Amino acid sequence: MLGSSYLQAMSLLIASESLWYFETNTYVIAPHRGGPAVIVDAPPDPAGVGDLLAKHDLTPVAVLVSHGHVDHVGGVDGIASSTVRAYLHPDDLDMARHPREQLRALLGSGFPTGDDELISTDFVDLSDGETLTLGGVDFEILHTPGHTPGHCCFYVPSEGVLFSGDQLFAGSIGRTDLPGGSYETLMESMAKRVLPLPANTDVLPGHGPSTTLATERRLNPFLQELL
């Protein structure tokens, strides 16, 4: 585990841990300590996710996966079950099933060859605009393609919190040079689905520190062309 943070939002418990080699922020969202929790993203460190849940005495009820990159979905088989359903946009399903293939593409010949280990979780499809009530919390699903075709952000209107995955970071945006990525599409998603949210929205990204939409509107160089 590489650092941790704990946020007490207006009424929900939101805690996070930065996990695995790519320091992916995994979040747990719960109405209160000792209750049901929703997990956002599943890096290949199920034990780390388990520690985060245990630290706050939480019982997982669902995993929302922002996109199919290995650092966000690679641990899902160790977390999902018949009672903890995992949610992913269908446009990222093929990608999500082949984590080893992704690493090979990313790391090249240095990555050891071998049998492809497949992700076998039976995902529930996410669809744009739907609201999922999980563990007593409403999550609005924003399909934001660009970083990957099936990338989604998760907005919790009651708290004014956006889990932005690899769409929006503090001072930056997700990379678009990986297979299936498109800068134009990411910027279109930003303009259509992210920027219309209230300026005081807290942004909790898939990597790096949290921020607010107001701060990003002011300081993020990538957003300036859209304002």
**Residue (139 or 169) nearer to Zn ion, CB:** 169
Task: Rank residues 13 and 148 by Cβ distance to Zn ion and give the closer one.
Answer: 148
Residue 82 beta carbon to Zn ion: minimum distance, rounded to whole angstroms: 28
Helix locations, the chain, DSSP H: 46-55, 70-73, 93-97, 99-107, 183-189, 213-219
Q: Rounded to an integer, what distance in angstroms lies between the CA atom of residue 85 and that of residue 108?
A: 33
Tell me how crowded residue 101 is: count the other CB atoms within 10 A of its CB.
Answer: 17
**Amino acid (one-letter) located at 178:** L
| Shortest reach from residue 115's CB to Zn ion, in Å | 24
Whole-number Å distance between alpha carbons of 181 and 147: 5
Given a contact cutoff of 8 angstroms between Cβ atoms, the answer to whether 174 and 146 are in contact is: yes
Least distance (Å) from Zn ion to the CB of residue 69? Answer: 4
Task: Using CB under 5 A, list all residues that contact Zn ion.
Answer: 69, 166
Nearer to Zn ion, 30 or 151 (CB): 151
Between 58 and 95, name the residue whose CB sits nearer to Zn ion. Answer: 95
Q: In angstroms, what is the minimal distance from the CB of 60 to Zn ion?
A: 22
Q: How far is the C-alpha of 121 from the C-alpha of 84, rounded, in Å? A: 11
Looking at beta carbons only, is 53 or 96 nearer to Zn ion?
96
The nearest distance, CB 20 to Zn ion, in angstroms, is 12
**Closest residue to bound Zn ion by CB:** 69
